[in-house]
Amino acid sequence: MTTKRQQALDTASSLIHGDRTRYGPPKVNFQRIADRWSQILRVDIEPWQVCLMMADLKIARLCEGYTDDSPIDIIGYAALMAELAPERGGG
């Protein structure tokens, strides 16, 4: 039997490796967003920070009530953040 958590992980994975690739490779797409936000805000935004802010947007929306897609999107943004974040030592 598949758990709800496994279903959420599987769905998020299928989205970030499938349907969402229509926006281009994550590195390119999130850099494009970071560049635009950096111009608007006049601060340097990194692609991994775009993932962080998009996940935070989903969390803020949850304050109005639970929706099934929110945790899936948060999982997807977290996975992409892990991929786009600069390598750092430590744990």
How many CA within 13 A on the CB side of residue 58? 17
Task: Dump pLDDT digits (tens) for 7-37.
Answer: 999 999 999 998 777 889 999 999 999 999 9
Is 89 inside any structural domain? no
On the question of pLDDT at 79 being above 90, the answer is yes
Task: Dump pLDDT digits (tens) for 28-75.
Answer: 999 999 999 999 999 999 999 999 999 999 999 999 999 999 999 999
pLDDT at 90: 60
- Total domains in the chain come to 1
Is 91 inside any structural domain? no
Domain of residue 58, residue span: 4-84
- CA geometry: angle 54, 7, 63, nearest 5 deg: 40
Is 28 inside any structural domain? yes
As a whole number of angstroms, the longest Cα–Cα distance in the chain is 50
Is 33 inside any structural domain? yes
Q: Structure pTM?
A: 0.88
